[in-house]
Amino acid sequence: MARQPIRIGARGSKLSVAQAETVRAAIARALGADDAAELVRITTTGDRIQDRTLAEIGGKGLFTLEIEEALADGRIDCAVHSLKDLPAEMAEWLTIAAIPERQDPRDAFVSRRFDSLEALPQGAVLGTASLRRQAQALRLRPDLTILPLRGNVDTRLAKLDGGEADAILLAAAGLNRLGLGGEVKALIDPLTAPPAPGQGALAIQTRIEDQAAPWLAELRHGPTTLAVAAERGALAALDGSCRTAVGAFARIEAGRLILAVEALSPDGRQSFTGHDGFDLSGEGDEDRARTLGLRLGAEIKARAGDALTGSA
C-alpha cells in the first residue's frame, strides 16, 4: 500500500510557496521519493486584509491562524512559516519541530535612484510594513516620511516603481529566495540594526505528537536553531508583536553564541539595547540560548518602561 504524502501547509504567496517548496524537496530527499511530500496552499487572514497594518488588524498571528487550524483538524501534517512571522508564544499542542539552515538574516535597502538609507534626500518617502524597520530608520533619519507598505514582494516593488516611495526595506532572504537578490542596493548591518527575531529562517511547525517523526531530523540545522532560540527568547520577554519594535540577532563565533537585542519607541527617538553571550558546551545550549534572550529582553523592558509603546 502506497504511503500517503506528507502534506505541507503554507500560505499561497509566491514567496511562501518558494519557501515551502525547498522544505518539500528536503522531505522528499529524506524519504527517498519525490512524491513523498506535497504542498497545500492556505489563504490566511493576513493575506486577505492588505489595506491596514498588522498592528491594526491583530498582529503576526493572522498569518498563521488558518494554517494552525488545518493542523488541528488533520488536513495537513506540518506547516512552513517564515519564523519571523510566528508569534513568540503558540498553542501548547503545537511546536516548532525543525528549523533548517537560515538564509541571509539582514534587511535590504531597495531603491531605483538611491544607494543607501543615508543617501536619501531630506524628507524622502520610505516604504515599510514593519514597525521595527520604521523605528530603526527614523532613529538614523528622523526627517524621513514613512509609508505603510503591505502586500507581497512583487506588490511592494511595483509601488516603488510607481513612485509611491523613494525606497523600501525588505528582508534580504525573501528577495534571494525569489531570485530577486539583484534588487538590493544595500544591506543593513545586523549588529547596528538587528533584524526581526528569526528573520531569514524557516520554521517547520507540527503537532506535539508528531515532532519525533524521523524525516524531521533531516531538516534541523543546529547553529540556526541555537541562534533563533536566543532571538525568540528576547522576543518573548519584550512581548514582541507588530505593536512593539524589537530586533534581535544572534551569531556563533569561535565557539561562542553572541546576542544583540534592540527595542525602540515607534518614532525611533528612544533605543534600548542589550548585548551578551556564552561559550557553547554542546549540552543544554538551546535552553541556555533562550535563557540569554529572555534575560536581555527582560533587562531592556525594565529600562524602557512605557517608551516601547509610545505612551511614555
Instruction: Name the grid cell of 122.
Output: 531630506
- Asked if residue 243 lies in contact with residue 139, where contact means CB atoms within 8 angstroms, the answer is no
Which helix (H) or strand (E) covers residue 145, if one does?
A: strand 145-148
| Amino acid identity at 102 | R
- Phi and psi for 110 in degrees, rounded to 5? -125, 130
Instruction: Name the grid cell of 77.
Output: 501534517
Q: Which of 300, 284, 280, 182 is nearest to 240 (CA)?
A: 300
- Asked if residue 35 lies in contact with residue 66, where contact means CB atoms within 8 angstroms, the answer is no
How far is 280 from 299, CA to CA, in rounded Å? 22
DSSP assignment of 52-103 equals S-HHHHT-GGGGTHHHHHHHHTTS-SEEEEEGGGS-SS--TTEEEEE-----
Among residues 85, 104, 166, 285, the one annotated as catalytic is: 85
What b/e sequence results for 302-312 when a residue is b if at least 16 CB atoms lie within 10 Å of its CB, and e otherwise?
eebeebbeeee
The label of the residue with cell 534588487 reads: 183
How far is 78 from 164, CA to CA, in rounded Å? 38
CB atoms within 10 A of CB 229: 25
Q: Which of 9, 27, 19, 138 is nearest to 68 (CA)?
A: 9
Q: Is 143 part of the annotated catalytic residue set?
A: no
How remote is the C-alpha of 27 from its chain's centroid?
Answer: 22
For the annotated catalytic residues, the residue numbers are 85
